[in-house]
Amino acid sequence: MRSEVDPDVTAQQPSSSTEHARYVQEMFGRIAARYDLMNRLMTFGQDQRWRRFVVQQARLPRGGWLLDIATGTGDIALEARRQTPDLRVVAADFALPMMRVGQRRAGADALAWQAADTLRLPYADEAFDAVTSGYLFRNVTDIPGALREQMRVLRPGGRLVTLDTTPPPNGILRPLIQVHLRTIIPALGRVVSGQADAYRYLPESTLGFKSAEELADLMRAAGLVEVGFRRFMLGTMAVHWGTRPAVV
């Protein structure tokens, strides 16, 4: 994309109409005010390190264009601008309350905030030098469709990088991790945000999500090459990356 994007998040309304999409949109709206605090508490502050790693893996060119889809409050988008100050960043999501929280953060004025549906991105083909996301794919019902859209707007040679949860690996710690996900996180969510149901959905979506290997296979099936991933936090988080080849 080689033109400015309207930064007004009310300019476009998300078009997704499935029941699941509406639930996810409404849920993130309810937890927006305490979302960042809960992330820091749930991950013991490690989520910021993972987002730095996402941006590093994106290999952002100076003066290039980044789409951060499912931007939430803009953590990855803001980190990208910190690492590459002249980068042009579109921070997009369909949860408008999340973006409105993000727009109050330091440095937010440098981003172009826009409402967008990940399954129908309102951008031209080959518009971006990189596409990043955080906790997107576990919340969509059509992962191949979301990957196709990201591939469409990504220029040849560009990088797609995503941070998401992944089911805990089998092993001696798995029962303890499941207790943490199913008991401790909902209790913490109730105390901090007053939204225990949202923080029951988030752990359950982690346990029911694709393994890191399965998501990597889906990325390859979408046409990405040089696909890889790195696990974090006892194997419950993973950053995946891949490159759009010169010919798709």
Q: Are 29 and 151 in contact (CB under 8 A)?
A: no
What gap in Å lies between CA 60 and CA 159, rounded to an integer? 8
Mean pLDDT across the chain? 85
Q: What are phi and psi of 76, to 5 degrees?
A: -70, -40
Q: Which residue has the tokens 């993130």?
A: 28
pTM over 0.95: no
Count helices and strands (H / E) in the chain.
Answer: 10, 7
| 95, pLDDT greater than 80 | yes
| Closest alpha carbon to 43 in 75, 11, 86 | 75
| Token pair in block for residue 187 | 């209790």
| 62, pLDDT greater than 70 | yes
Tell me the pLDDT band of 195, cut-offs 50, 70 and 90.
low
* pLDDT tens by residue, 130-150: 999 999 998 888 999 999 999
Q: Quick one: what percent of the chain has pLDDT higher than 90? A: 57
Neighbours of 49 (CB within 10 A): 11
DSSP result, 83-120: HSTT-EEEEEES-HHHHHHHTTSTTGGGSEEEE-BTTB
Tell me the pLDDT band of 14, cut-offs 50, 70 and 90.
very low
Q: Is 169 helix (H, G, I), strand (E, B) or coil?
A: coil
Distances from the Cα of 26 to the Cαs of 29, 62, 115, 162, 214, in angstroms?
A: 5, 36, 14, 23, 28
Q: Is 204 helix (H, G, I), strand (E, B) or coil?
A: helix
User: Average of pLDDT values for 54-60?
Assistant: 97
Q: In this structure, which amino acid lies at residue 192?
A: V
User: Average of pLDDT values for 86-110?
Assistant: 94
Tell me the pLDDT band of 8, cut-offs 50, 70 and 90.
very low
- Which residues are within 8 A (CB) of 110 and not within 5 positions of it... i.e. 6 or more apart? 81, 89
Q: What are phi and psi of 62, to 5 degrees?
A: -60, 135
User: Average of pLDDT values for 195-219?
Assistant: 83
Question: Inter-axis angle of helices 47-58 and 35-42, to 10 degrees?
Answer: 100
What's the CATH fold of domain 19-166+210-243? Rossmann fold (3.40.50)
Compare 23 and 103 and report the one with higher pLDDT: 103
Per-residue model confidence (pLDDT) at position 232: 94
Per-residue model confidence (pLDDT) at position 11: 37
Secondary structure E strands in the chain: 65-69, 88-93, 112-115, 128-134, 154-165, 225-232, 237-243
